[in-house]
Amino acid sequence: MVELLAPAGDIDSFNAALKAGADAVYMAGKAFGARASATNFTSEEYVECLKKAHLNNKKIYLTLNTLIKEKEWKDLYDFLNPLYTEGLDGVIFQDMGLIEYLKDSFPELPLHASTQMTVTDSNSAEILRSKGVCRIVPARELSLKELKYIKDRTGLEIETFIHGALCYSYSGQCLFSSFLGGRSGNRGRCAGPCRLPYTVYESANNKALCNNRYPLSLKDLCTLEHVSELIEAGIDSFKIEGRLKSPEYVWGVTHTYRKYIDRYYEGKDTTAAKEDMDILSSLYLRSSVGSGYYFKHNGKEMISLNDPSYNNKDEGLIRDIKRKLDEECPGPSLNMKGIFRDNREMELTVSDGSFSYTTRGDLVQSAKGRPASREDVAKQLSKLGGSGFSLNELDIELDDNVFLPVGRLNDLRREALKGLKDRILESYRRSDGIRKELSFEYYPLQQGKDYSISVSSVSQYYLALKRRPAIIYLPYDLIYSGEIAWEEIHESLKDSGTELFLSLPRIMRYDDETYMETFLKDVKEHLPAGILVKNMEELGFLLNHDIDLVIHADHSIYCWNRSALKYLKGFVDRITAALELSMRELCDLDNRDMVIPIYGRSPLMVSAGCIAKTFDKCDKKTGKAFILRDRYNKEHIDLSNCIHCYNEIYNAVPTSLHKQIESLLEAGFGHFRIDLTVETDDEVRNILDYYMSGEVMEYPVKEYTGGHIVKGAI
């Protein structure tokens, strides 16, 4: 049976989830969770919730789904150990550095890969499976067909969102909030820039397509009408979004989906009734909803362009739910058997079907007055209020003419229930984890410096080559689309001393199979010096095909700590520094071999959504450029990639570390990269002249940001 997984940001929401029929609850502690503004749970509260869940045969999954800085690593063991020993049912994680750490330190803990890991195909899923991950939460942009393909290929459990808010960006690939205000979505502090208004222009003609509207605000997800299809696709866990939402929302949404899931397994009609859809729409949903990406890749009908606000709550419905939440919820049912024989010890056995416990009391005495009746005994033994259990069946063996003190019957009942609880909870408990000192390889300081250049067009390629950089990263898209031929590339590289690396797309999915087969054929025939991968799908693909070339990992494959570095260096030859870390935090990694991006427009979002399609400008043939002007008149650049059908939004101003180069060199870093995107030929010449000519010049870019190099993201 499919699992119904509900959110909880506080104790009241946790209780609401259990009362509404959730099979499992996902919730965070006070650290490392991707909803930092939720109340969340202290360790003591979390342990009590684990006990309550386990007594009710429910599960709790810890959300450990943020990227972890090296200085925070020391706190992990003490944070996790009390939850682990109490029987934590699983951990949902984002940081790849956690994989080996959790397997070594907490070997019995099931590992679930978060949607923040941007699993978009079976290649990365297979890497995760091989490392001991048992469940994945794939990217929310995947279709039902893609989800089924991943499950069939890997056998992993699949957990997907069925209800709630959707991000415009692929989860885990959004730096918008981080670069605009320092609040990182990868740290659970997203400020929600996708819900803000923008004016959209066509870059080619500066024509306004909308004014002060919401082109990045996706409609909320509601799949009540598709419950049967999702179950039959083989999804293992239905996940409800909403750890920041109220107990009334948690109860109402969970209760509604519980009803339809049960209907499916009972063979009943699962057609969504209007009154149930009305209930969901009255519980903190946006003014319009959709079925997300399950049945389409993108479309303007998925965007709440005019109004991203939430519906007004139905106060009558909220009051009704609050009354239900105030009612005592019957706990798991149990059977009781009491044996009361003259001159023998009182005996009471309680059982929940899986566990039983027997306790004994005083000798039963003959009655000197009124003897105990079966009704009297049943009345005392049935008093389960506040115990967390409900009574299913009561069997009493009672001799005639015996005396049973009420107090001793109550003691017997309490002792039996406590014993049963202890036995149930003991079955979940584990011994302590293993506190281990992690060993790391030290990557020595670099002597001198070299430059590499990442280009986005053929003209940029030739301008970059004139500077003879150590490496040019050329998008394979330019070759695949015929914009540049291999013959031209080979001819241009003669005697240049520059190595050619092919860079792969930001997102790779099932529909890119033909593209990757062509890429594989070209690589084997033309032998570039190396490959730049931008996601774990591409890395998994190369590993599966045993490509014997140098592999570099881009900054979109996050490396925030030495454990992640150690994990990644098992696959790749060189990593690119994460864009959200400060210089101090980069130094903490003890890897001076990494590539430092020193110039370029930082990618703020990568999305399956398409600005061109939203405004009926999609021709499915050529990429288009758009401008998104925000409230502060900053103009962010949106580029469509029609080969792979995704959009990338770039920061209005480039990030430039020209003022930090000397400090970076003193710290031992020496591999610097210049990323070119929308710069004109003249701008490219000026930028490359400044960095690579060796002459002292005025910096040619008027407006720029230093990014996170000084303070890092919060």
Give the end-to-end CA distance of the chain in Å, rounded to a whole number. Answer: 40
At 627-657, the pLDDT tens digits run: 999 999 999 999 999 999 999 999 999 999 9
Beta strand 402-403 pairing with 450-454 = unpaired
What is the band of 283 on the pLDDT scale with cuts at 50, 70, 90?
confident
Strand-pair category, 208-213 with 59-64: unpaired
The pLDDT tens digits for 199-235 are 999 988 888 999 999 999 999 999 999 999 999 999 9
Judged by DSSP in three states, 77 sits in: helix
CB 27 within 8 A of CB 60: yes
Q: pTM above the 0.85 mark?
A: yes
Say what percent of the chain tops pLDDT 90.
Answer: 88
Per-residue pLDDT, 64: 95
Give residue-wise pLDDT tens across range 260-276.
Answer: 999 999 999 999 999 99
Amino acid 35: pLDDT: 60
Q: What is the mean pLDDT of the chain?
A: 94
Long-range contacts of 104-109 (CB under 8 A, 24+ apart): 104/434, 104/436, 105/77, 105/80, 105/433, 105/434, 105/435, 105/436, 106/80, 106/81, 106/433, 106/434, 107/433, 107/434, 108/84, 108/430, 109/84
CB 201 within 8 A of CB 209: yes
pLDDT tens, residue by residue, 348-392: 999 999 999 999 999 999 998 899 999 999 999 999 988 889 999
Q: What is the pLDDT of residues 19-49, one digit of tens each?
A: 999 999 999 998 786 565 566 899 999 999 9
The predicted-structure confidence for 230-243, as pLDDT tens digits, reads as follows 999 999 999 999 99
Q: What pLDDT is recorded for position 60? A: 98
Predicted confidence (pLDDT) per residue in 450-490, tens digit: 999 999 999 999 999 999 999 999 999 999 999 999 999 99
* CA pair distance 400, 651, nearest whole angstrom: 86
> What CATH homologous superfamily does 450-591 map to?
Enolase-like C-terminal domain (3.20.20.120)
Give me the residue spans of the domains in the chain. 3-166+218-326, 333-426, 450-591
Encode pLDDT of 67-101 as tens digits: 999 999 999 999 999 999 999 999 999 999 999 99
Among all chains, which residue has been given the structure tokens 């740290």?
187
Q: Which of 554, 576, 650, 575 is nearest to 606 (CA)?
A: 650
Q: Which residues pair with 345 in a beta bridge?
A: 363
pLDDT digits (tens, 9 = 90+) for 386-432: 888 999 999 999 999 999 999 999 999 999 999 999 999 999 999 99
Q: Is the pLDDT score of 586 beyond 80?
A: yes
DSSP secondary structure string for all residues of 3-56: EEEEE-SSHHHHHHHHHHT-SEEEE-BSSS-S-TTS--B-HHHHHHHHHHHHHT
Q: What superfamily would CATH give domain 3-166+218-326?
A: Aldolase class I (3.20.20.70)
Task: Indicate the SS3 state at residue 149.
Answer: helix
Cβ atoms of 353 and 420 closer than 8 Å: no
User: What pLDDT does residue 38 have?
Assistant: 60
pLDDT digits (tens, 9 = 90+) for 118-131: 999 999 999 999 99
pLDDT at 531 over 90: yes
Count other Cβ atoms within 10 Å, centred on residue 326: 7
How far is C-alpha 507 from the geometric centre of its chain's CA atoms? 16
pLDDT tens digits for 293-307? 999 999 999 999 998
State whether residue 196 is helix, strand or coil: coil
Task: State what percent of residues in the chain have pLDDT above 70.
Answer: 99
Q: Do domains 3-166+218-326 and 450-591 have the same CATH topology?
A: yes
Burial 255-273 (b: 16+ CB within 10 A, else e): bbbbbbbeebeeeeebebe
